[in-house]
Structure 1
Amino acid sequence: MAETPVDPVLRAESSSQRATFLELFLDLVFVFALTRVSQRLVEDFTTDQRILLSEAGQTLVLFLALWLIWASTAWVTSTLEPEAFAVQGVVVITVVCSMVVAVALPEGFGDRGLIFVVAYLAVQFGRIGFFLLATRGRIIAGDPAAPKRVLFWTALTAVPWLVGGLAGESVLRGVLWSVAVGVDYLGFTLGWPTPRLGRSQYGTQPFAGEHLAERYQQFLLIALGELILVTGITFSGGGGAFTPARTGALGLALLTTVLLWRIYFYRAGHVLPTAIIQARDPARLGLSAAYTHLIMIAGIVLTGVGYELTITHPFGHIVPAWLIAILGGPALFLAGRAGFEFQVFGRISWPRVAGVVLLGATAPTMGRLPLLAVAGTTAGILLGVAVSDLRRSRGRAPEQPAPPI
């Protein structure tokens, strides 16, 4: 990292690695946004089960768009100076437009589809436009064509986004938006390769790895906070009685939240900043960590939906599809966490792999049990993973990161 960057918009070595208050303000919007994802998923699981796959797929598309907004913002504030006026304006635009995206999300494939897509595109075009205006078109040292590349890809995917938003038929909208979000992720991953402009080479400009790692940690805590929020609201709202069964379901939800926190932060989540700094290619590791965190956060949100169903129907008739949330959420988290472990330490986390296998193996036997028993089994498996971590750490020096990248 250069001591005195050529462009004041770029990060200097003296820049703080901590998240700014404006970035934390953005996170508050995404707390609300995740509750909208949970709301939509609960509706997916409690409506006609014959269309569950298509409904859940639609929710996934909306969630992926939401995560890309946050992840790309975290990348911007890790490569540019977050206190610079141009960058602060980018974050403010993201805050405002993301709030509209979140409000429209539950009906994103319904009456609010056009509102959702206009707000999403406003984030993409608005940020680039404001940045170019605030910097008076001044090129960025090290990657002068970056804004043009992003603008090209944004314009490219704006067509299927807008056509899908105008389409009244949800299947066509789903196809077009799936293609659009897939291309958006491809551009972000590859550095927006553009004819005659090439592509951005991640790592060729200042990069605050410690800052990016902290942002991932903070968003995962946001997801855990959302799990507590939605289960607490479900337990206390709706006129439900404080019965032993419902109270037990809430207790399991809190236990699961603690276990997910423990499993994440031991030990890879704790040393992620050091791992990125020590990596041979810090920018590549930071970018790849976005995808493992995406998987873990999706698992946490799905787990929260499972506990909403469990608190509401602790001894009710189980719908087989609900096992996708109650067992699949923790399994998805563990799968992402196993990949994250490899990114940080260059090895496979067998306890997490075993947890995924056990959750999958128990699924066929859970169909006749009450939801409370299924949730208890899931919590028990997560507890086993956490205990194995504790036993592994006894009598040993803390493992140091050894990223393979």
Structure 2
Amino acid sequence: MRGRDPGEPHRTATSLELLFGLCFVIAVAEASRGLSAAVAGGHAASGALRFALVFFTVWWAWMNLTWFASAYDPDDVPYRLTVLAQITGSLVLAAGVARAFEDGDLRVITLGYAVLRTTLAALWLRAARSDPARRRTALRFAAGVTLCQLGWTALLFVPAQVRLPAILVMIAGELTVPVWAQSAGMTPWHPRHIAERYESFVLIVLGESVAAAAAAVRDAAGRHRDSGALYLLAVGGLLMVFAMWWLYFARPAHTILATTHRAARRRFVWAYGHFPVFASAAAEGAGLAAYAVLTQRHGDAVPLAARAAVTVPVAVFLITVWAVHVRPHRRRGTERFAFPAVAVAVPAAAFAPAPALVAGLLCAALVVVVTRADRASCTGGPVGVHAQEGRRAGGA
């Protein structure tokens, strides 16, 4: 298992990587469903906290194997079996999400996480044996992953009143491991491959948002066929999801990663900064679903917290996409201010009679601004950007 060439041409995700990502849909769906139920039940604040903690475990498990595979994936039988074991761990983790939301029971989710982390440590030990040049880095990863997993297991025996601070300490420890390990030497990850994997996860969480919102609107519309609020919710939700897709894919991520390949701090900012991008996209579906349920119960008198659950995730998505994915391209013009301005304006839509529609229209206006700015700079919009990058790559 020697390191792969970070400049390998035509590097794309394998079918096993795509299967690995798709299996995380279940865990994302369970987390989104738990947040939706919490918002609909009047526990938005506690639900958001539990969602953030649960989603971190999902995202972190996915991200760690993604970066490892980019650097080392040999696609041989032992590696395939190990990744299949990781998929099993992700399914066990997903099975424990509901318990974690309902009563704080972390036993099943910890079991799934243990399978994921143990197999990852085994992969790093294999890399340490096969890649002498990066043995120190691989051993640091294996040691850090193992120690953190022991810490997560120990949390099961911690008193409930101190569990949250202990979880925050563990999260800080997890985030520190890659920084500490790669200070001994960088792994040979592939910029285009990493960009593709992150883009696929964006599609996963956006797809989950569409599915969750559509199911909720369908169920509610079956009982309130004349509810115009539900139709406005559906239109606004689609506008937001479409705009979120458009704005994220308007800039090619691999060009950012290629320029940060030797800049560790900027690389980690991009990689870690995607947590709120992914989490907010998944939370948007939960907010739309909760709003549909509460519209069924209360008509137009939906509580402010549920209205905010529709608008705030979009604002978080916009500001983090701008910070980690758009701003590094150093484009000039109105789009430099348009993203922050819309991100500030969107939460105020919670006070509108149709918050999803107003937020969707604001996001659509931002798409227009970005597209016009692209045309003005002769990039040709989202399609043109990728086409232009493809021509450059083909002529290189």
Q: Name the TM-score class by shorter chain.
A: 0.7 to 0.9
Residue of structure 2 in register with 1:220 after alignment = 202
Residue of structure 2 in register with 1:207 after alignment = 189
Asked if the contact 1:327–1:378 (Cα under 8 Å) also holds between the matched residues in 2, the reply is yes
Equivalent runs, 1:47-86 vs 2, <5 Å: 47-49=41-43, 52-86=44-78
Asked if the contact 1:160–1:177 (Cα under 8 Å) also holds between the matched residues in 2, the reply is no
Within the candidate set 186, 191, 201, 2:180 is matched to 191
- Secondary structure of 1:349's aligned partner: helix
Greater mean deviation of Cα atoms: 213-222 or 350-359: 350-359
Asked if the contact 2:40–2:294 (Cα under 8 Å) also holds between the matched residues in 1, the reply is no
Within the candidate set 145, 148, 162, 1:157 is matched to 148
How far apart are residue 294 of structure 1 and its match?
A: 1.6
Structure 1 counterpart of 2:300, one-letter code:
G
How far apart are residue 46 of structure 1 and its match?
A: 2.5
Residue deviations 1:215-244 (CA, integer Å, cap 9, x gap):
011110111111111112212336534444
Structure 1 pair 48–377 and aligned structure 2 pair: CA distance change class (3 A) = closer
Residue deviations 1:323-354 (CA, integer Å, cap 9, x gap):
33112111000111111212333778311101
Structure 2 counterpart of 1:19, one-letter code:
A
Greater mean deviation of Cα atoms: 121-130 or 37-46: 121-130
Asked if the contact 1:209–1:283 (Cα under 8 Å) also holds between the matched residues in 2, the reply is no
Within the candidate set 111, 114, 121, 1:128 is matched to 121
How far apart, CA to CA, are the structure 1 residues paired with 2:104 and 2:377? 57
Asked if the contact 2:209–2:283 (Cα under 8 Å) also holds between the matched residues in 1, the reply is no
Equivalent runs, 1:309-388 vs 2, <5 Å: 309-314=290-295, 315-339=299-323, 340-345=325-330, 349-363=336-350, 366=351, 369-370=352-353, 373-388=354-369
- Secondary structure of 1:206's aligned partner: coil
Residue of structure 2 in register with 1:196 after alignment = none
How far apart are residue 362 of structure 1 and its match?
A: 4.9
- Secondary structure of 2:131's aligned partner: coil
Q: Which has the higher helix share?
A: 2
How far apart, CA to CA, are the structure 2 residues paired with 1:85 and 1:120? 23
How far apart, CA to CA, are the structure 2 residues paired with 1:241 and 1:332? 31
2:372 equivalent to 1:391: yes
How far apart, CA to CA, are the structure 2 residues paired with 1:125 and 1:116? 14
Structure 2 counterpart of 1:127, one-letter code:
L
Residue of structure 2 in register with 1:3 after alignment = none
Residue deviations 1:144-191 (CA, integer Å, cap 9, x gap):
02342123223432344123223462x433222221122101222x13
Residue of structure 2 in register with 1:5 after alignment = none
Asked if the contact 1:139–1:145 (Cα under 8 Å) also holds between the matched residues in 2, the reply is no
Greater mean deviation of Cα atoms: 283-292 or 244-253: 283-292
Equivalent runs, 1:78-157 vs 2, <5 Å: 78-108=70-100, 110=103, 112-129=105-122, 132=125, 138-157=129-148
How far apart, CA to CA, are the structure 1 residues paired with 2:107 and 2:315? 34
Asked if the contact 1:246–1:312 (Cα under 8 Å) also holds between the matched residues in 2, the reply is no
Structure 2 counterpart of 1:191, one-letter code:
W
Residue of structure 2 in register with 1:289 after alignment = 270
Structure 1 pair 391–129 and aligned structure 2 pair: CA distance change class (3 A) = closer
How far apart, CA to CA, are the structure 2 residues paired with 1:101 and 1:58? 15
How far apart are residue 383 of structure 1 and its match?
A: 1.3
How far apart are residue 23 of structure 1 and its match?
A: 0.6
Asked if the contact 2:260–2:267 (Cα under 8 Å) also holds between the matched residues in 1, the reply is no
Give the unaligned 5+ runs of structure 2: 380-384, 390-396
How far apart are residue 10 of structure 1 and its match?
A: 1.7
Residue of structure 1 in register with 2:284 after alignment = 303
How far apart are residue 248 of structure 1 and its match?
A: 3.0
Structure 1 pair 394–346 and aligned structure 2 pair: CA distance change class (3 A) = closer
Structure 2 counterpart of 1:236, one-letter code:
R
Asked if the contact 1:207–1:283 (Cα under 8 Å) also holds between the matched residues in 2, the reply is no
Please, what is the CA RMSD of the aligned residues?
A: 2.7
Asked if the contact 1:125–1:151 (Cα under 8 Å) also holds between the matched residues in 2, the reply is no
Structure 1 pair 125–236 and aligned structure 2 pair: CA distance change class (3 A) = same
- TM-score, normalised to structure 1, is 0.83
Residue of structure 1 in register with 2:233 after alignment = 249
Structure 1 pair 278–341 and aligned structure 2 pair: CA distance change class (3 A) = same
How far apart are residue 360 of structure 1 and its match?
A: 4.1
Residue of structure 2 in register with 1:177 after alignment = 167
Give the unaligned 5+ runs of structure 1: 1-7, 194-198
How far apart, CA to CA, are the structure 1 residues paired with 2:83 and 2:223? 40
How far apart are residue 72 of structure 1 and its match?
A: 0.9
Structure 2 counterpart of 1:345, one-letter code:
R
How far apart are residue 64 of structure 1 and its match?
A: 0.9
How far apart, CA to CA, are the structure 1 residues paired with 2:168 and 2:45? 14
2:253 equivalent to 1:272: yes
Greater mean deviation of Cα atoms: 353-362 or 253-262: 353-362
How far apart, CA to CA, are the structure 2 residues paired with 1:207 and 1:130? 15
Residue of structure 2 in register with 1:45 after alignment = 39
How far apart, CA to CA, are the structure 2 residues paired with 1:346 and 1:255? 25
Residue of structure 1 in register with 2:24 after alignment = 30
- TM-score, normalised to structure 2, is 0.84
